[in-house]
Amino acid sequence: MSGKPRLTAEAATELHNRLAKRVVAEIIEETRAAGGSYSDLLVISESVLVGLVVECFRLGHDSKVIDLVFTAAKARLANVRLKDLRAEGTG
């Protein structure tokens, strides 16, 4: 992307988390203010993903990248949803 040195893993995590929170908050606030729905939020998310893939990857690599992104997203979502869930049962 630029001639700058690569981010360390720690700096990358901080950048990703900071930007993601800011972008998500802006998308939600603007969509709500406009009277949008959850469907609108999903379409905006799709548009952002498409824009990033077009910007970052050559034609032909799109489906591989999308598969990787969604595989990672599913794993992260499962972690977020399940991390505070207590197991119940007798076994």
Report, in angstroms and rounded to the nearest whole number, the Rg of the chain calculated over CA atoms: 17
In a domain, 14, yes or no: yes
- Reported as a single tens digit per residue, the pLDDT across 35-78 is 999 999 999 999 999 998 888 888 888 888 899 999 999 999 99
Position 13 in a domain: yes
- Is 1 within the bounds of a domain? no
Token pair listed for 86: 């207590």
53, part of any domain:
yes
CA-closest candidate to residue 69, choices 87, 46, 90, 86: 46
CA atoms within 13 A on the CB side of 74: 5
Q: Does a structural domain hold residue 4?
A: no
- What is the tally of structural domains in the chain? 1
pLDDT mean over 10-28: 95
Residue 78 lies in a domain: yes
Q: For residue 26, what are the domain limits?
A: 9-82
Is the Cβ–Cβ distance between 52 and 65 less than 8 Å? Answer: no
- More reliable by pLDDT, 41 or 6: 41
Token pair 């970052």 is found at 56
